[in-house]
Amino acid sequence: MCGRFATTLPPDAMAQLFEAAPANDLPPVPNYNVCPTNQIHTIHTEAGARRLTSMRWGFLPHWYKATNGGPLLINARAETIAEKPAFKAACRERRCLIPVSGFYEWTKDEEGARLPWYIQPAGEGPLVFAGVWQDWERDGEAHRTCAIVTCAANDQMAAIHHRMPVILGPEVWGKWLGEEGKGAATLMTPAPEGALRFYRVDRAVNSNRASGPELTCPIE
């Protein structure tokens, strides 16, 4: 799964990288502790053009009567996304890209304490997650919402967690966004071995109120 991440790429750099027109209400960067229900940067295709927009991280199906009207859906499992009522329409019609600098995952020590790890690309550039999105409106309150698509971990990532985000390379961004016909389902696979690197970071990130670049610094 993915429950926390960092974003440091400036919006103008995102707009250039994805050839997307940026919205005016994008969340501030850098943010080293992006949490569920935060507004995040996403890229989707609308009317034949790519848009860089802000979405609420936490997918809201249309039948939720309030933002807390059901489970918080921050991830969508690749294996069942096409069948789940919450996600199946979005999987066909509303896919997005979610650029991040890195993400956090946790293991536990012998006493059960949560030990955070920071996972980032082994090479240059951001990680780009596969996402799905949904507009939600109820009683005058409206949100554009999204979830990160996850798959079984590759062997490298399995040392930390059995799930990982679906990570997309530039060569398939257009296909995931629906710009190049069908075939998006074939992209929901683990990242190649060696595509990521990870290391332990301070337990300060266990708090969703923590902030600052030190959260991503390695510890001994």
Instruction: List domains and CATH numbers for the chain.
Output: 5-216 (3.90.1680.10)
CA distance linking residue 134 with residue 120, whole number of Å: 27
Location of structure tokens 């050839």: 19
The H or E element that residue 3 is part of is: none
> Is 91 a catalytic site residue?
no
The catalytic residue among 91, 96, 105, 151 is 105
Instruction: Read off the pLDDT of residues 127-167 as tens digits, 9 standing for 90 and up.
Output: 999 999 999 999 999 999 999 999 999 999 999 999 999 99
Within 10 angstroms of residue 37's Cβ, the number of other Cβ atoms is: 15
In this structure, are residues 57 and 63 in contact, taking their beta carbons and an 8 Å threshold?
A: no
- 217 in catalytic set: no
C-alpha span between 187 and 128 (Å, rounded):
13
List 2, 91, 96, 146, catalytic entry: 2
Residue 142: how many CB atoms within 10 A of its CB?
Answer: 9
Spell 11-31 as b/e; 16+ CB within 10 A means b.
beebbebbebebeeebeebeb
Q: What is the pLDDT of residue 220?
A: 74
Tokens of 131: 């996402």
pLDDT at 181: 85
What would the pLDDT profile of 180-205 be if each residue is shown by its tens digit?
Answer: 988 999 999 999 999 999 999 999 99
Is this prediction's pTM over 0.85? yes
